């Protein structure tokens, strides 16, 4: 993972996102300024600027009562107190995690029953580092062996308060270095949520992805501040900011992400997604995919707008990754190929990059380094109607003289990909694109 000077990052962040920056950055080189984001969770659509969601987001019902969560404060499990408060204030109330309190969660929480409720997190909520318990009891999801500390779902649920959720990730980073087949929990599992707002809130040290958004609709994420790094020689790997799966009409905006994998990833069967005003550092870009991983399954990503993103110290800026038509292996815990489906109507508009390997990367050979095999067994998943526009900045030089790459496994499954107003150069001043089975003009 690559990191730039914290002061420079703060200045760029203030310009790019229009956020107020006060004081000086912490001495920790991985820290970044906090977003000054105010969200009215009861008027979601009006909070979406400058672009609006593909469909209006539903407003919240009134909240008429308040419950405070008691905190043991000595490291004992507060899960039972949390569940009791949620049940007491469900259907029209607000649950408060008090400021200056340090809550502990050591039990997997099923919170998919929530309806018309706010969670105001003012304090810190930390998940225990009992890796044996969490591997046995975290919630299992079918996609890519994902697991979550908790499942949050229901209808009309808002989470805010600018408090902190802490995944205690260091023990997981070290354990994963010993065994890359362990199941590491995702910090925030949004599973089956229909109508809701999440943020402002801080997320720290997730063992794996920070968000898994599945089977959900009409949710706004705003003012999310993500950060977490390893203090040992073992990297914090696979710490995606958001992975969105089988969901529609989701908005992500006005957020800061410092992580070690995709800043945002659009997984199978994700439609009508708006992403705007993000600061991403140390990531693998804003990614469509990976798709086509599972043979015989149909993956669709359609109608995505990504607008005004600042991308620093990353492997990619804008990225589309599709598996080829034959079995391939990215790593010991990530293999695939042969799936069906399509990527359609994707727009990346206005991206600023600095020290990014590829400003733009499109591939239908994900996980397959043998290009002869990839071309012999082209992807079963089509890519069409993709627009990259208004990009500027300088790459890392990792692929001098190239700044972008578009690799299609066959011209029959890859069409209408447009790049315009791309003002990106490599450190040596070139702006070459690598194009395979696609028009190179």
Q: CA-to-CA distance for 163 and 202, rounded, in angstroms?
A: 6
CB atoms within 10 A of CB 269: 20
To the query of whether residue 243 is one of the catalytic residues in this protein, the response is: no
CA distance 254 to 237: 24
Reduce the DSSP state of residue 401 to 3 states and report it. Answer: coil
Radius of gyration of the chain (CA): 21
If we measure between CA atoms, which residue out of 297, 239, 242, 298 comes closest to residue 275? 242
For 292-333, strand residue ranges (E) read 298-322, 328-331
DSSP states along 6-30? HHHHHHHHHHHH-----S---SSTT
The catalytic position among 243, 284, 316, 349 is 284
- Pairing type for strands 328-331 and 334-336 reads antiparallel
Euclidean distance between CA atoms 24 and 9, whole angstroms = 11
The yes-or-no answer on residue 261 being catalytic is yes
Q: Which of 240, 254, 261, 316 is catalytic?
A: 261
| Integer Cα distance of 285 and 313 in angstroms | 10
- Catalytic site residues? 261, 284
């Amino acid at each position: 993972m690559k990191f730039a000077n914290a002061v420079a990052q703060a200045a760029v962040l203030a310009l790019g996102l229009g956020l107020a920056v006060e004081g000086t950055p912490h001495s920790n080189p991985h820290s970044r300024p906090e977003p000054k984001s105010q969200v009215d969770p009861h008027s979601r659509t009006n909070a979406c600027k400058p672009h609006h969601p593909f469909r209006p987001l539903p407003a919240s019902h009134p909240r008429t009562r308040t419950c405070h969560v008691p905190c043991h404060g000595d490291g004992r499990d507060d899960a039972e107190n949390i569940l009791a408060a949620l049940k007491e204030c469900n259907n029209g109330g607000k649950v408060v995690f008090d400021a200056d309190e340090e809550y502990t969660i050591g039990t997997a929480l099923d919170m998919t029953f929530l309806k018309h409720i706010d969670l105001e997190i003012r304090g810190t909520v930390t998940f225990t580092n009992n890796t044996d318990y969490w591997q046995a009891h975290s919630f299992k999801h079918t996609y890519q062996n994902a697991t979550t500390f908790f499942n949050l779902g229901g209808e009309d649920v808002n989470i805010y308060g600018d408090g902190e959720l802490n995944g205690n990730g260091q023990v997981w980073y070290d354990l994963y270095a010993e065994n890359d087949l362990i199941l590491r929990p995702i910090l925030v599992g949004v599973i089956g949520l229909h109508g809701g707002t999440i943020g402002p809130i801080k997320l720290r040290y997730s063992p794996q992805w920070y968000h898994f958004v599945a089977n959900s609709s009409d949710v706004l994420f705003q003012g999310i501040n993500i950060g977490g790094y390893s203090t040992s020689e073992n990297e914090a790997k696979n710490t995606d900011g958001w992975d969105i799966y089988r969901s529609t009409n989701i908005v992500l905006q006005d957020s800061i992400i410092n992580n070690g994998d995709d800043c945002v990833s659009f997984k199978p069967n994700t439609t009508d997604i708006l992403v705007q005003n993000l600061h991403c550092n140390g990531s693998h870009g804003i990614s469509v995919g990976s798709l086509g991983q599972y043979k015989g399954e149909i993956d669709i990503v359609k109608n995505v707008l990504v607008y005004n993103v600042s991308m620093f110290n990353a492997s990619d800026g804008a990225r589309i990754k599709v598996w080829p038509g034959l079995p391939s292996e990215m790593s010991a815990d990530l293999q695939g190929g042969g799936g069906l489906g399509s990527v359609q109507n994707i727009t990346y508009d206005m991206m600023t990059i600095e020290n990014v390997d590829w400003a733009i990367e499109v591939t239908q050979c994900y996980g397959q380094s043998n290009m002869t095999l990839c071309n012999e067994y082209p992807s079963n998943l089509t890519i069409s109607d993709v627009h990259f526009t208004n990009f500027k900045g300088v790459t890392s030089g990792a692929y001098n003289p190239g700044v972008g790459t578009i690799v299609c496994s066959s011209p029959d499954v890859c069409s209408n990909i447009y790049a315009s107003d791309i003002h990106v150069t490599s450190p040596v001043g070139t702006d070459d694109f690598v194009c395979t089975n696609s028009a190179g003009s």
